[in-house]
């Protein structure tokens, strides 16, 4: 029981990550609670006293998200680009894994699940749209090696754009999807499972995210279950991380729109590692949603309506 609780907390605290360990993504001098896109981890629970920890966890559970005035992604369509990084995507179950994640990106838009994000809006009361398009995907066989720094991950994105392999698109989130042999040195598996942030390319605000493959590196920390709904444990775990980062990117792309002032959590963080009602697939794997004909176990998301809470669908 004790061990199980510890593992659960560990997994929960790894939803996404930390600025303290990760190098500065978006440092704030006025508050340690400003989101970095790496989620919870700005607060290192392990270094806290019991009263601090209790207060932090309570704040995480109870604090609502509020609008802080920054931009929200409100284009009619939210584009997604995949960058398949590493040499293992084309061997073994790599192609099947890519297919699982491709179907997800092609099918999440228009779903009752993604519709949760339409409860979020900007200062002009324009709401996030329930439209997602997988607008392109490319392969990078591993030009920067298997130990990626945050700077490397940004370079992978900016090089994909500057080379013309992917378009310059400010209405998009570029996802660096690493293979099972690649890690991110700022804390994949120990501080986060994925993260999102933004940068400027050719004068455009470009949103991008990292999603790691935990299949062999950290199945317990980042949720790669066996069996998994599509018999691709790494990709099935990445599906939930992808959903988490996408919903955070559209509602808080620059880290200054929708988050909790008390905890620094964005919408995905609020519901990390909660799945609502699950069903059992024929292979015994748990799943909670069917998209594009495939079963997925993806985390709940935080809705603003009818009242703030975790849910799998809106309305
Ligand atoms: Zn997060």
pLDDT in tens, 39-64: 443 334 444 556 665 666 565 667 89
Q: Residues of CATH 3.40.390 domain(s) within the chain?
A: 78-258
For 95, the 3-state DSSP assignment is helix
Spacing, Cα 117 to ligand 1 middle (Å)? 14
Spacing, Cα 131 to ligand 1 middle (Å)? 21
Spacing, Cα 203 to ligand 1 middle (Å)? 26
pLDDT single digits (tens) 109-162:
999 999 999 999 999 999 999 999 999 999 999 999 999 999 999 999 999 999
Spacing, Cα 312 to ligand 1 middle (Å)? 16
Spacing, Cα 270 to ligand 1 middle (Å)? 8
Spacing, Cα 33 to ligand 1 middle (Å)? 13
Tell me the pLDDT band of 263, cut-offs 50, 70 and 90.
confident
Spacing, Cα 50 to ligand 1 middle (Å)? 24
Q: Which residues pair with 183 in a beta bridge?
A: 147
Angle 94-107/233-251 helices, nearest 10 degrees?
A: 30
Looking at residue 174, the DSSP 8-state letter turns out to be E
Burial class (CB in 10 A: 0-12, 13-18, 19+), 127: middle
Spacing, Cα 106 to ligand 1 middle (Å)? 22
b/e 231-253 (16+ beta carbons within 10 angstroms → b): bbbbbbbbbbbbbbbbbbbbbbb
String of DSSP letters for 69-94? S-----SSSEEEEEEEESGGGGSTTH
Spacing, Cα 53 to ligand 1 middle (Å)? 19
- Calculate ∠ Cα 38-42-46, nearest 5°: 120
The CATH number given to 78-258 is 3.40.390
C-alpha dist (Å) from residue 159 to 92, 134, 257? 28, 19, 28
Spacing, Cα 304 to ligand 1 middle (Å)? 17
Spacing, Cα 264 to ligand 1 middle (Å)? 10
Spacing, Cα 91 to ligand 1 middle (Å)? 30
Spacing, Cα 282 to ligand 1 middle (Å)? 31
Q: State which H helix or E strand residue 178 sits in.
A: strand 172-178
Dihedral of alpha carbons 257, 18, 271, 229, sign: positive
Query: What pLDDT, on a 0 to 100 scale, did the predictor assign at position 42?
Result: 32
pLDDT single digits (tens) 203-227:
999 999 999 999 999 999 999 899 9
Spacing, Cα 40 to ligand 1 middle (Å)? 7
pLDDT single digits (tens) 74-104:
999 999 999 999 999 999 999 999 999 999 9
Spacing, Cα 258 to ligand 1 middle (Å)? 12
Query: What pLDDT, on a 0 to 100 scale, did the predictor assign at position 44?
Result: 41
Spacing, Cα 30 to ligand 1 middle (Å)? 21
């Amino acid at each position: 029981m004790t061990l199980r609780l510890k593992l659960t907390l560990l997994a929960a605290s790894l939803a996404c990550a930390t600025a303290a360990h990760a190098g500065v993504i978006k440092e704030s001098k006025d508050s340690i609670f400003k989101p970095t896109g790496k989620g919870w981890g700005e607060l290192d629970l392990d270094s806290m006293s019991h009263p601090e920890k209790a207060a932090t966890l309570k704040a995480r559970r109870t604090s609502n998200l509020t609008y802080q005035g920054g931009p929200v992604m409100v284009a009619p369509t939210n584009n997604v680009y995949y960058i398949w990084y590493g040499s293992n995507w084309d061997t073994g179950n790599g192609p099947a894994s890519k297919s699982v994640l491709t179907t997800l990106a092609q099918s999440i838009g228009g779903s009752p699940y993604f519709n949760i994000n339409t409860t979020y809006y900007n200062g002009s009361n324009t709401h996030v749209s329930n439209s997602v398009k997988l607008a392109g995907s490319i392969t990078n066989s591993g030009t920067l090696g298997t130990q990626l720094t945050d700077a490397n991950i940004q370079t992978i994105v900016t090089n994909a754009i500057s080379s013309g392999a992917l378009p310059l698109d400010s209405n998009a989130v570029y996802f660096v999807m690493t293979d099972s042999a690649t890690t991110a040195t700022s804390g994949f598996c120990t501080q986060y499972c994925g993260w999102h942030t933004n940068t400027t390319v050719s004068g455009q605000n470009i949103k991008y995210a990292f999603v790691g493959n935990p299949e062999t590196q950290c199945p317990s920390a980042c949720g790669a279950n066996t069996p998994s709904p599509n018999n691709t444990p790494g990709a099935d775990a990445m599906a939930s991380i992808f959903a988490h980062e996408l919903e955070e990117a559209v509602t808080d792309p620059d880290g200054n729109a929708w988050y909790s002032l008390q905890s620094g959590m964005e919408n995905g963080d609020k519901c990390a590692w909660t799945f609502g009602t699950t069903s059992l697939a024929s292979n015994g794997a748990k799943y909670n949603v069917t998209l594009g004909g495939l079963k997925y176990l993806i985390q709940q998301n935080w809705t603003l309506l009818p009242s703030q809470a975790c849910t799998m669908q809106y309305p």
